[in-house]
Chain A
Amino acid sequence: MTATQAAVRHRPLRAPHAAPLRSAAPLLLLELRRNAMPWILPLIAALFWFDSYRPSTGQAPLWVLRTFWNMGQGHTIIDFGPFVAGVAAWMGSRDARRGTADLVTATVRPRFAAQFATWAATAIWAVGAYLVFVGVMFGVYANQGVAQPNVLNIYGLASWAPAAGPVYATAQRFAALPAATRHAWLATHLAALRSGQLTLVQLP
């Protein structure tokens, strides 16, 4: 090809730009606003209600048993899994479907960073919805008078365990996760023993 030149008005050598993490947050917020996951949540909620909650009320009114039925048997995950995977695939293929690959490629951030933001937004919606649905379900159990103290223990544990992580992390970096897990396990069983439920149920 014949060489050709065109005059260009130059700006200073380094144009102003953002620190990667600082601009990642607004990008993530934008992706959260425009994610497809919220559209599918009513369907998952209905499935959760009919496939997880209602059949679980047929179990004995013990939260350990109901929790095992929901979590251990994987009903709640089964309700979520296919939809989350489907929406993630749908969102991940957005650039190819919409023909924006060239536009995204010609930007400063690597294309995988844009796709990571899309994935992260989908995952945050999915995990957030999962926690809310499970929390509501346990809340309903508690209001049914089913071992309310233990439910409160679980809520307490959920807020206490992450706080314990950094404490362990400062003491010994690589021991943090197993130590926090061990403590969580101990706290759960102590709470169950205190309320006398651990002896009532023999989990398979």
Chain B
Amino acid sequence: MFGLLGPNGAGKTSLLRVMATVIPPSSGRLRLLDRDPGQYGPRREIRRRLGYLPQQLGYYPSFTVADFVEYFALLKDMPPARVPRAVAAAIEHVELGDKARAKLRTLSGGMLRRVGIAQAIVNEPELLLLDEPTAGLDPEQRVAFRGLLRDLGQRATVVVSTHLVEDVGAACSEVALMDVGKIVFHGTPAQLIARGEGTAAAGDAPLERGYSAVLAAARATTAVHPAPAVRSGWEAQS
């Protein structure tokens, strides 16, 4: 499991949307699963092996849990004969078997996140992209969710974007820290903790102190060597 940490506005969601082939990269080069998502054929193959849970999970309230997962299984071009079994397995995996026939409008926020996970894993993806999967969950749900994430990490490469460092500490073997659209740290959670030791960085937990120390160091460097300004169209006009 790969944790993508960073403050709000760091670019985590944009990066995940690029990796999910929803938007093209504005610059640079991207390769996913040894393929170039800029080309139609490889992009289809990538999407066939991809699971994606966006930050804001949209859903159709009148669909049942099974309908919703089946809908995305079919859109992911799974063979129809395999779909019912795959849908049932995905729903069971997120422990919503007893809610399979429930309408989505009747589910709680935590259950909806699990439905989102179910649609993401229904095609048994090689690469699973989860954007803020624990956002809006209560502590008990978050603990349960981390267990689910660890389990998913046994089957696929999971990239989890979050601004909650405790999620990364509990579930991820690797972590990258982003700030202002750049990766300013890449290592293990233990290495991130080590970066905070012996510093006056803010934070209650060791991982939080490491997070704060890396961010402070990155921002100090940026202040000395500022990056060239990039202004969007409407800013340039104002």
- Chain A residues with CB under 8 Å of chain B are 1-2, 4, 6-11, 14-18, 20, 22-23, 25-27, 30, 33-34, 36, 94-95, 98-109, 113-114
Is B147's CB within 8 Å of the partner chain A? no
B135 CB–A CB distance under 8 Å: no
* Given A15-B49, A33-B67; A4-B186 close (CB under 8 Å): yes
Does B182 sit at the interface, judged by CB under 8 A? yes
B44 interfacial by beta-carbon distance below 8 Å:
yes
Contact check, A17 vs B77: say whether CB atoms are below 8 A apart.
yes
Given contacts A100-B60, A102-B54, 15 further A-B contacts (CB under 8 A): A6-B2, A10-B33, A10-B34, A11-B49, A11-B126, A15-B49, A16-B82, A17-B77, A98-B61, A99-B57, A101-B58, A102-B17, A103-B119, A106-B47, A108-B44
Chain A residue numbers with a CB within 8 Å of B61 are: 98
Q: Which of B67, B71, B119, B186 has the most CB of A within 10 A?
A: B71
Cβ–Cβ < 8 Å partners of A16 in chain B: 78-79, 82
Q: Which of B15, B34, B72 contacts A103 (CB 8 A)?
A: B72
* Docked-complex contact A30 and B157, CB < 8 angstroms: no
B positions within 8 Å CB-CB of A: 2, 15, 17, 20-22, 28, 33-34, 44-45, 47-50, 52, 54, 56-63, 67, 70-72, 74-80, 82-83, 119, 126-127, 156-157, 159, 174, 176, 181-184, 186
- Among B20, B54, B157, the residue within 8 A (CB) of A8 is B157
Interface of B is mostly: mixed
Nearest-CB distance from B27 to chain A (Å)?
8
Q: In the bound complex, how far is the Cα of B70 from the Cα of A187, in angstroms?
A: 47
B126 touches A17 (CB 8 A): no
The answer to whether B181 and A30 have CB atoms under 8 Å apart is no
